[in-house]
Structure 1
Amino acid sequence: MIYTCTMNPAIDLFTEFEHFEPHVVNRSVFEDYQANGKTINISFMLKKMGIENCATGFLGGFTGKYIEDELRRAGIDTDFVHIDGITRINTFIKAGEKEYKAVNRGPVIDEKAQDALIAKISGLEPEDLLFVSGSLPRGVNGTILKRISELSVKKGFRLVLDVSAKTLLDCLSDHPFLIKPSDEELAAWLDEDPTVFEDDVRLIDAAVQLLNKGAERVLVSRGEKGTMYLDRDRVLQTTAPRGEVVNTACAGDTLLGTFVGSLLQQKSIEDALIFATAAGSSTAFTAGLSDLKDVPELMQQVKLINDTEGVRKS
């Protein structure tokens, strides 16, 4: 079974106004509510690919119920730890050329709830795969990631990590199946200036450091520059399709979900990378998650570059 774990989910409220002024009542001309969270997005994308999965994490209050209802409506199984607090609502306001983003902290997660989540994860089996992505909620520190990575070794399940916390480096010795940093996150982990990664060779060298620390696979999201993939046998890059960018917030989640989903569907690494790059761009070109209908067309724009031989000779 495929599991996704979202510890700090949210309802994202997208609103649009003709004008947005202080001290007056501003009335929207558009609003949209979306169940959100990095791995919740992955659950939706896997389901769109026909891959059954189960979403877990922390949910609370009427907002948590809305998120769980949306997942179930999409045919996704749920097994959340229900908390006393209220799952957060984030608000994104567009008014003319200006955009405002109000991201809330969310509830405090106590140790009892954290232990309940760990207990659920401890029930996973060797044939299972777990995605853990996104920010950590209040009350939860990075050590929970290490607890999960140690469980992946003990129980034998595959672990996919997409987190900004530097604690991820402590998890690499447990050999996660795949990690997905952005180039900015990679720079922060290695105390590098992000601008140095404009040089592909420097970026490859940095990702190889993560492989040497224990990661089995590294997928680097680079926005409009495309995607880079590395394992112990190959270094691959893809260019990104061109289009009008509407919302980049969920593009990386789409990239990761569709890449791993494609591998689960027995696609080659190369084909999975091309498909996922196109899918991530498709999400960036729409207000919500991609429906995947335009992915075949976008795939025709994606160029695959094999850097493996060049790196071996350098």
Structure 2
Amino acid sequence: MTVTLNPAVDQTIKMNTGLESESVQRSVEAQFTSGGNGVNVSQFLQALGSETAATGLIGGFTGYFIEEDLDTYDVPTDFVWVAGVTRINTTILTPRKKYQLNQTGPTVDSDVIDELIEIVSQYEPDTLNIGGSLLPGMDAADVDRIATAGDWDTAVEVPGEVLAELDAEYEYCKPNRKELAAATGREIESVTECVDAAKTLQERGFECVIASMGSDGAVMVTPEETLYAPALDVEVVDTLGAGDSMLAAVLWAFEQGWDAERALRAGVVASAQLVGVMGSSVRELDPEPRLDEVRIWAMDS
């Protein structure tokens, strides 16, 4: 099950020219999809053929859109409705640059956490993924409350500043380079620096750390081993949702009983598929045919 504390409607606009100020321009393509870390992870788990359900906090006409959109992907939903309107995040793709504008979302109080915990407890998930940014009025303690409210393994993918303040123990953690740097206070320029920072997070109580570095690949640190996989060489259309697809594929792989090396391969392949399409949604994911294309290095533990 996934918990998205600050879902979004992702608006992706494609231009065939650069943006110009003081000018009215028209797009060549545009789309709206439901988004936010947990929402994306549930979509990808469904695309992988895994059983999933999505909850979180939604409101207004954009909240209705998210429910309806997830229904088209056959993702069961059970959201908590809040006052205000779920945010719209806009990505503009031009031939040379990518522009991204994310809204903040409505303000909530701590009562919504009790409602979320009640919903999650009814589903009794084996694994719970809590992901994305926090709404105004929330803090890291709210994430810890949800994670420790039941007998489930918890994966977390939240902003680095929030990650640094978490006190509970987590089975999985999936930061990107920026989040890893913010969580540890370190610069992450090399694979070695990424490994060292990921190990620091593991020492703080995150059992398995999957750190994505975009075109530089990904690192996985478990209690038994440290692995590095470079990214596959693919044409990049849009990076939106790539890290979420990596996390979904890794969780799916562990659910199948795969080892860490094979799970990391699955995550890298899924991410490569996502960057090849516009937006953050796909209806089918199948990492297995390309697993052997992913190279794996065992790093010194």
1:208 match: 199
Residue 295 of structure 1 deviates from its aligned partner by 4.0
Q: 1:184 aligns with which of 174, 178, 181?
A: 178
Q: Residues 156-235 of structure 1: matches in 2 within 5 Å?
A: 156-171=151-166, 174-195=168-189, 198-200=190-192, 202-235=193-226
Q: Displacement, 1:251?
A: 0.6
**For 1:241, what is the secondary structure of its paired residue?**
coil
- CA–CA distance in structure 2, aligned partners of residues 199 and 92 of structure 1: 28
Query: Looking at CA atoms only, which structure, 1 or 2, has the larger radius of gyration?
Result: 1
2:278 is the counterpart of 1:304? no
Q: 1:245, 1:95 → 2: CA distance?
A: 13
Maintained 8 Å contact 1:90/1:103: yes
**Percentage of matched positions with identical amino acids:** 31
TM-score scaled by length of structure 1 = 0.87
Larger mean CA deviation between 113-122 and 50-59 belongs to 113-122
- Distance in 1 (CA, whole Å) between partners of 2:205 and 2:255 is 22
Whole-Å Cα distance in 1 between the matches of residues 166 and 37 of structure 2? 19
Query: Which residue of structure 2 lines up, in the alignment, with residue 270 of structure 1?
Result: 261
Give the Å deviation of 1:143.
1.8
Q: Per chain length, whose mean CA-contact separation is higher, i.e. which structure has more relative contact order (CA < 8 Å, sep 6+)?
A: 2
Aligned counterparts, 1:32-71, within 5 A? 32-71=31-70
**How far apart, CA to CA, are the structure 1 residues paired with 2:295 and 2:16?**
40
State the Cα distance separating 1:103 from its structure 2 match. 1.7
Q: Provide the residue aligned with 1:243 in structure 2.
A: 234
Where do 5+ consecutive residues of structure 2 fail to align?
Answer: none
State the Cα distance separating 1:199 from its structure 2 match: 4.9
Conserved? CA contact 1:131–1:160, under 8 Å:
yes
Q: Deviations over 1:106-129 (max 9, x none)?
A: 21123333332233234454x521
Once the two structures are TM-superposed, the CA of residue 90 in structure 1 deviates from its matched residue by: 1.7
Letter of the 1:283 counterpart: L
Distance 1:102 1:56, change over 3 A: same
Q: CA deviation at 1:294?
A: 7.3
Unaligned runs of 5+ in 1: none
> TM-score, structure 2 length as denominator?
0.90
1:255 maps to what in 2? 246
Contact 2:12 2:278 in 1 (8 A): no
Q: Deviations over 1:141-197 (max 9, x none)?
A: 22211212332xxx221100011143434535x3211111223322222222233xx
Quote the offset at 1:256 in angstroms.
Answer: 0.2
Which digits, 9 at most, give the CA deviation of each residue in 1:185-244, with x for residues without a partner?
22222222233xx151x4333322222222221111111121111111111111211011
Displaced runs of 4 or more, over 6 A: none
Q: Give the 3-state SS of the residue equivalent to 2:98 in structure 1.
A: strand
SS in 2 for 1:177: strand
Contact 1:282 1:294 (8 Å CA) reproduced? no
Greater Cα shift, 30-39 or 181-190:
181-190
Name the count of aligned residue pairs: 299
CA RMSD of aligned residues (A): 2.2
